[in-house]
Chains A and B, each alone.
Chain A
Amino acid sequence: DQQVKQNSPSLSVQEGRISILNCDYTNSMFDYFLWYKKYPAEGPTFLISISSIKDKNEDGRFTVFLNKSAKHLSLHIVPSQPGDSAVYFCAASHLADSNYQLIWGAGTKLIIKP
């Protein structure tokens, strides 16, 4: 039972345009969400997070939107750059349970075309 789903295995976007990566979750106890980026032959690196008390968090070109009623979050990258080509993982957690581990999606491979 996948509690965090990234339904698009890959996404191709023109350089300079907006990239939108989507993530759905099923567990209503999740209250903290993160995005990680992974380049080939490297470990994932933390990108941005959002708490369930917010519906938007912005960091430079990256914005994460959270729609709690739809159990959906999205990562927007504007404008997309070639260096953004990577696999993006969505992860969720339940902060009130200090031993609760992150639950990860399967990842979406983003390809930025020049």
Chain B
Amino acid sequence: KAGVTQTPRYLIKTRGQQVTLSCSPISGHRSVSWYQQTPGQGLQFLFEYFSETQRNKGNFPGRFSGRQFSNSRSEMNVSTLELGDSALYLCASSLGDRANTGELFFGEGSRLTVL
């Protein structure tokens, strides 16, 4: 069974640009969550999608947005990039009936560097 796939794995952008990251969940999983990981900060929750609807949202500015498609694939977008957006962005999928039961399956992440 294929795992969670994130693309691209690495990317470099400059301030002011925008970026789109993609996540393909495990087949059959309907929930996709996005997290930002920075050193010393753990995993900060961005948002969660279930059946194409945003079910929950973390405390990030509106520059961070996402969507989910009918095949459960998800994208997140960050506009007007800032230096502080440099981070590892992790996508996690789960069967998803409930957002909080915790057994999430993570992808390897997309490492974003903003110069």
Contacts and interface: CB of A to CB of B under 8 A. Distances in A.
B102 A93 contact: yes
Interface residues of A, number: 28
B100 A99 contact: yes
B108 to A, nearest CB: 5
Contacts of A26: none
B4 interface: yes
Contact of B45 (A41, A102, A106): A102
Interface stretch (B13-21, B35-43, B75-83): B35-43
A97 interface: yes
A9 B40 CA distance: 8
Contacts of A6: 42
Contacts, number: 72
Nearest to B3: A43
Interface residues of B, number: 27
Given A42-B108, A43-B90, A44-B43, A95 B101 contact: yes
Contact of B106 (A44, A98, A106, A107): A44
Query: Which of A9, A43, A104 counts the most chain B CB atoms within 10 A?
Result: A43
18 contacts: A32-B101, A34-B102, A34-B103, A42-B108, A43-B92, A43-B105, A43-B107, A46-B102, A46-B105, A49-B102, A49-B103, A89-B42, A100-B99, A100-B100, A101-B99, A104-B35, A105-B42, A106-B41
Interface of B: 4, 33, 35, 40-45, 48, 55-56, 58, 90, 92, 98-109
